[in-house]
Structure 1
Amino acid sequence: MTSTTTAAPVDADAALKQKHRTMWAAGHYDRVADEIIPVLGERVVASLGIAPGERVLDIAAGNGNASVPAARAGARVVASDLTPELLEIGRAQHPDLDIDWAVADAEALPWPDATYDVVLSTVGVMFAPHHQVAADEMVRVLRPGGRFGLASWTPDGFIGRVFATMKQFVPPPPAGVQPPPLWGSEAHVRELLGDRVEGLTFETAYVDVDAFGGPSDFRTYFRENYGPTLVAYRGLADQPERAAELDAALDELAAGFRDAAGRMRWEYVLVSGRRR
């Protein structure tokens, strides 16, 4: 399998990772995970049939969206994330659960080959900047015959469209960095994983969201709580006209995804399989 990405120079890569840490520490991603998408982690864990005693790694775990239900299923869970602030929130929220909260880069996991029975990620690993590197690491730490499960926003679903909209208002990413919603594309994931895995399944599903009274309520919530949106607006702090354009673009997008009752459906793909 041939990678389509080019690794960034070490110094540039370190700066990029620090930028990612800062972005996800901004706002309150734990609120998004707990208030809007708690069902995602539960669905990933249920799809994998996680059993007591299994060794489970949650990559880009945040405050434990999937780690918590995996631990409640009796697994021995490591919740890893690049952003220590999110791990600290998860630890404080769930002191009763036996979860190892570990700072780790999805592109350089600090565990030996074949350490885990199950590797999973809930809209997490998709945000690692170099997709092939992250996929390689995920497979490397999974034992032969071990299972993996990923929930990723799709390019054409609502969150994928949010990122496409914000792209017009933020600086271009460094060379080699790929858009996160590509992890919601079956062809892309198959290329990343190649013949190292088997039994791949792809299920398109939805999170039903009724938390916002109107389109502007979504925009306000994400501007205050969701790191990528918050950082996009910070970059427009001295460009009020451009910020107003982003307001209008996000409001129009959100309005188009609301049904008559005001409910939104956020599309994601659930991917599962086994390491050969």
Structure 2
Amino acid sequence: MTERVVRVSGHFGELLQGRIGPDGPVALISLPCPALELEARFQPGRGFSIHGGGQRLLTPERARRFLDGLGRPLAGQVTMRAAMPAGGGAGASTAALVALARLAGARLTPEALASAAIASEGATDPLMFPSAERLLWASRAGRVLAHLPALPRFDVIGGFYGPPRRTEARDMAFPDIADLMEPWRHAALAGQSAALAELAGISASRTLALRGPDEDPTAELAARLGAAGLVIGHTGSARGLLFLPGRIPDRAAPVLREAGLRGIVRFRAGGCG
């Protein structure tokens, strides 16, 4: 096997996340982020080692168990570099598993790869699927609950606020968002970007009210900069503002930095191209 390089795009928090009914599963609609990418390189050799480019994304033991579960062991060195921080709510952990499977040449369907990720970590983002924003995803079960209409275009700017917060698979303390699902589907079918951004903000505000932090600045920043809505990492530190196309003000990045956001990222979501 020769040297291999793979890249996996992350996400930037979730457009919606919560319980589908008071006792229902934790589900989410992911916000894919092409600006945050994990690159993984494999150099064949003896033994097995994995390096995280400054981050502890996967231990060698977990990586070996994951590969053994796929029936695709590797001999050599894996090096990963992630543009997103671990615990940021941007999919670093899932991206690392997806990249490792692809380096090993595992020919799995997205559903099978999601099952392998659940077996490894107990929770997973839907980064192994194309157009993840069109899935209502049960993150603790690794399965699609519903297929959704295409997302109209947004322009997004944001960063990371506060300490990292890794996902705990047994954590079920999320608000009920069942009432948001039909409005989401209707607004997406109609291409109503402003309505979708508002719904994302409602979901974010429910999570922040339940889980904190108490003095999160994202809603105030959205109002100050004229955003249509906001998005957060519901189990991470990602914080972003959703704008209608072409409406991010020039002063947005400095304002976010002044409010304490780090790693400012700007990207386009939804739409065509």
TM-score, structure 1 as length reference? 0.31
More helix by share: 1
TM-score, structure 2 as length reference? 0.31
